[in-house]
Amino acid sequence: MDTKPENFIQQIIRTDLEEGRVHRVVTRFPPEPNGYLHIGHAKSICLNFGLAEQFGGACNLRFDDTNPEKEEDAYVRAIEADVRWLGFQWDGAVRFASDYFGRLYEWARYLVEQDKAYVCELSAEQTREYRGTLTEPGRDSPYRDRPAAESLDLLEQMRRGEIEEGRMVLRAKIDMSAPNMNLRDPVLYRVKRVPHHRTGDEWNIYPSYDFAHGQEDAIEGVTHSICTLEFEDHRPLYDWFIDNLPVPSRPRQYEFGRLNLNYTVTSKRRLKRLVDENHVDGWDDPRMPTLSGLRRRGVTPAAIRNFCDSLAVAKTDGTVDMAQFEHFIREDLNTSAHRAMCVLDPLPVELVNVPEGQVETLRAPNHPQRQELGHRELPFSRHIYIDRGDFSEDTSLSRKKFKRLVLGEWVRLRAAYVIRALDVVRGDGGEPVKVIAEIVPGTVGENPPEDIRPRGVIHWVSADDCLDCEIRLYDRLFKTPSPGAGDSDFLEAINPDSLKVLTGCKAEAGLRAGDPAHHFQFEREGYFYADSRHSTADKPVFNQTIGLRETWTQ
């Protein structure tokens, strides 16, 4: 039974339903199609869709596409895919602000007719000057008392494309002395001679986000419009439009603290700069906090949803430690990921008491705690690979500090034999290029004789039947907790070691025929996932989703 206390929004909705103010809950997720969704959006998605699900209502997916200069259909498709990937389905058809451009324009005319809006010809610089400051009231525009008929005529000229950009705007007539700057005659429409990704050249003016957002909610019958805290000061304006327009319903806006993670950035402007300046390999680079990047890296929807559900829905902003997110990633993958073996830095081992050409088939569980996931077959022969870091010639190393293979001593191969290192073959530079070893017969799944004490367990693959693969190891993209803090450029905090590409790695042959959608725990190495862009069946590329434990150091 879920005993988690209800957050303040859940309490508001429950009260609204019980007291009859609302009969059916309708929420919405309203992204702008000017970039990819990131982990911060995931909290909003989970909250809005989760509230609708909890209270038996509906959640709309609506694109606030009011700025054609930065919007693209490609972003629309990516956002739809991300919402579905997280496991949510919106109510009815996908909605767009552009669906309502005609009605919004008529409502703008209505405000002019009611002497509550006017066409203003102040320049951008003059508008800022007239607006005042936080401590000084603004001044009325000299065009504020323009006759409604004149404003209507100019507004129509703006719509038809007869007015150049920047020359005129339509402003609401509210209060230039209001303490809340958002109420000082905000802009409703600007001239933008830019084709729209859905409406083409039909419109030469576009509504501001503040003017469009609340009215879109009203058209769709949204009951609870959930926004992040930066919109708190915009709520009086949201309500002013609802109060002064003949809208079909009366939505209410509520604000909650947005999700901020340390060691990352979630500003779309900054994310776009990372992409445009080639600091990363696109929006879906596995180091990016975008949902497509997390998906490509191998983070699961369950991990993201569990993480978001663990976060407080509060009326204050806060920063969450990246380690908290990583905990949920590990927790989910520890349960769901199939086990496999992959040698990242191969060192050949020849087992001299295994006959040349003999192949023995061993079995290992796909998951040590989940028998229902079955077993996999491991070919075992005279020639195997172990990881170079799992071997040492230093016989003085203590068993406690080095639980791996040491010359003259024993170690167990995972799901296979106990072996003993006998000798080393060296290269021209004196470095080990092959270990000569022997197996201890009868030790597959059995303890060795009492006089044989293996130091530990290491992973391996057959050298005669293995899969060449590329491994990409990822670290945090930024090396400081708050990239761009103060006056610094956030790019200065990029971690130069955030990606390490390893070629010539050797994985179990069975991965060749495995389901590429599987998440794997490469034993003793971490969790990995086949790269959706570069991986092929015969030569996979595996992205490291996360290590087995926290290894980050500042």
Beta bridge partners of 435: 349, 424
Phi, psi (deg, nearest 5) at residue 7 = -80, 175
Give 326-373 as a DSSP string: HHHHHHHHHHHPEEE-EESSEEEEEETTS-TT--EEEEEESSTT-GGG
CA–CA distance, 362 with 349 (Å, rounded to integer)? 18
Nearest C-alpha neighbor of 176 from the set 214, 136, 125: 136
Indicate the DSSP class of residue 257. P
Beta strands in 354-431 (DSSP E): 360-365, 375-380, 383-387, 391-392, 405-406, 410-413, 418-426
For β-strands 432-440 and 461-462, DSSP reports them as unpaired
The residue assigned the tokens 């003259």 is 408
CA–CA distance, 182 with 189 (Å, rounded to integer)? 15
Residue 199 near residue 250, CB atoms below 8 Å? no
For β-strands 410-413 and 457-458, DSSP reports them as parallel
Residue 490 gets the label, from left (phi > 0), alpha (psi -120 to 50) or beta, of alpha
Helix, strand, or coil (residue 99)? helix
Both tokens of 491, joined, read 């790019």
Nearest C-alpha neighbor of 155 from the set 113, 119, 202, 121: 119
- Cα angle, residue 283 at apex, residues 74 and 30 outer, rounded to 5°: 55
CA distances from 13 to 17, 22, 49, 297 (A): 6, 8, 14, 37
Nearest C-alpha neighbor of 478 from the set 465, 491, 460, 488: 491
Q: For the chain, what is the radius of gyration of the CA atoms?
A: 31
Residue 28 near residue 62, CB atoms below 8 Å? yes
> Active-site positions?
32, 258, 268
